[in-house]
Amino acid sequence: MHAQLGQKVLHVVADRRVGINPFDTPIYRLGPPAQPDFMGTTLKHLDFNSYPLPGMCIHSGSTWYFQCYYRDPEAGGAGFNLGSGVAAYFVQ
């Protein structure tokens, strides 16, 4: 991720990969925006006993896809960019 210092970063998660039609997959925002450090890195701590939104249920055997979203004026017409996504497999 290459978020500039001073830009806010949103952490988002989905229970499956967002494909051609992103509107068929619920995307959950994980808490308030985070502030990246000088390297563009952010951390997000998850409490598995308290889910951020109804319908988001992380349990053993599930796979969730995490990603960062941030404003990027240099990205061209879109004005935003995404960090590299991570698939997390939850086991018992």
pTM, to two decimals: 0.71
Q: What per-residue confidence (pLDDT) applies to 19?
A: 55
1 domain residue, yes or no: no
Quick one: what percent of the chain has pLDDT higher than 70?
71
79 domain residue, yes or no: yes
28 domain residue, yes or no: yes
Is the confidence at residue 53, as pLDDT, over 50? yes
23 domain residue, yes or no: yes
Q: What is the mean pLDDT of the chain?
A: 75
- What is the DSSP code (8-state) at residue 23? G
83 domain residue, yes or no: yes
4 domain residue, yes or no: no
Number of domains in the chain: 1
Range of the domain at 35: 9-89
Q: What per-residue confidence (pLDDT) applies to 75?
A: 65
Q: Write the CA distances from 38 to 1, 9, 34, 50, 65, integer angstroms.
A: 12, 13, 13, 30, 25
pLDDT tens digits along 9-41: 888 888 776 654 555 667 778 888 888 888 778
